[in-house]
Amino acid sequence: EAQVTQNPRYLITVTGKKLTVTCSQNMNHEYMSWYRQDPGLGLRQIYYSMNVEVTDKGDVPEGYKVSRKEKRNFPLILESPSPNQTSLYFCASSLSGTSGSIFYNEQFFGPGTRLTVL
Amino acid sequence: AQSVSQHNHHVILSEAASLELGCNYSYGGTVNLFWYVQYPGQHLQLLLKYFSGDPLVKGIKGFEAEFIKSKFSFNLRKPSVQWSDTAEYFCAVNANYGGSQGNLIFGKGTKLSVKP
């Protein structure tokens, strides 16, 4: 089954304790991305990756790191989590590309990781 | 910077009523446009998308949206809602030009509650 998986699904941690949320897709997608969802703010993009070894900042990258060493995985790293990073995190992937002058990018989302930082 | 505005925070309708959710974006260039739906406790699912061509786009579950370039709008419509349409709806935009194609901007969402 084609899917995006995230682990863990739920995590409670304390301030300053490094953590990693994994994201994996089995669709051979080039593009992957991380978002956080907060009430009243919608989804905001943290980082994205257009391909292996290529990552770019989204709108709210502060306090986060990512890496894209292989196509299927795109882990999100919080080196020193703080309470304002308590949120619902979604990973997404897409088979992006260009057809003529049109760039297409239809994203498929993972199930989400609910993170609480105390 | 790009931004996406969804006009209604919470819409309450009775079953069989017609639905229109507004979405406006601020970007003057070529864009890709999306509507996603999030059912309670679930992840986002794509309802429909616009990349090019016919500005009236049909999606899943009877939803459609119309891209009006002159108004920078991409409103979502459904002629007759059902209780099962109760969910949160997100409009999203990404610029179709080099360097920022991967930066997908979401609106803040509109909660739809359908009364049986």
* pLDDT, tens digit (0-9, with 9 covering 90-100), for A21-71: 999 999 999 889 999 999 888 899 999 998 899 999 988 999 999 999 999
Q: What is the DSSP string of chain B?
A: --EEEES-SEEEEETT--EEE-EEEE-SS-EEEEEEEE-TTS-EEEEEEESSS-SEEE-GGG-EEEEEGGGTEEEEEESS--GGG-EEEEEEEEE-STT-TT-EEE---EEEEEE-
From first to last of its 116 residues, chain B has per-residue pLDDT tens of 678 999 899 999 999 999 999 999 988 777 889 999 999 988 899 999 998 889 999 999 999 999 999 999 999 999 999 999 999 999 998 876 555 566 788 999 999 999 98
Instruction: Compute the count of residue pairs across chains A and B with CB atoms less than 8 Å apart.
Output: 70
Q: Mutating which of A3, A35, A43, A50 best tests the B interface, going by the most B Cβ atoms within 10 A?
A: A43
Any A CB within 8 A of B45 CB? yes
Find the chain A residues whose C-beta atoms sit closer than 8 A to any C-beta of B. Answer: 31, 33, 35, 40-45, 48-50, 56, 58-59, 90, 92, 96, 101-112
Q: What is the pLDDT of residue A101?
A: 57
Residue A104 has pLDDT above 70, yes or no: no
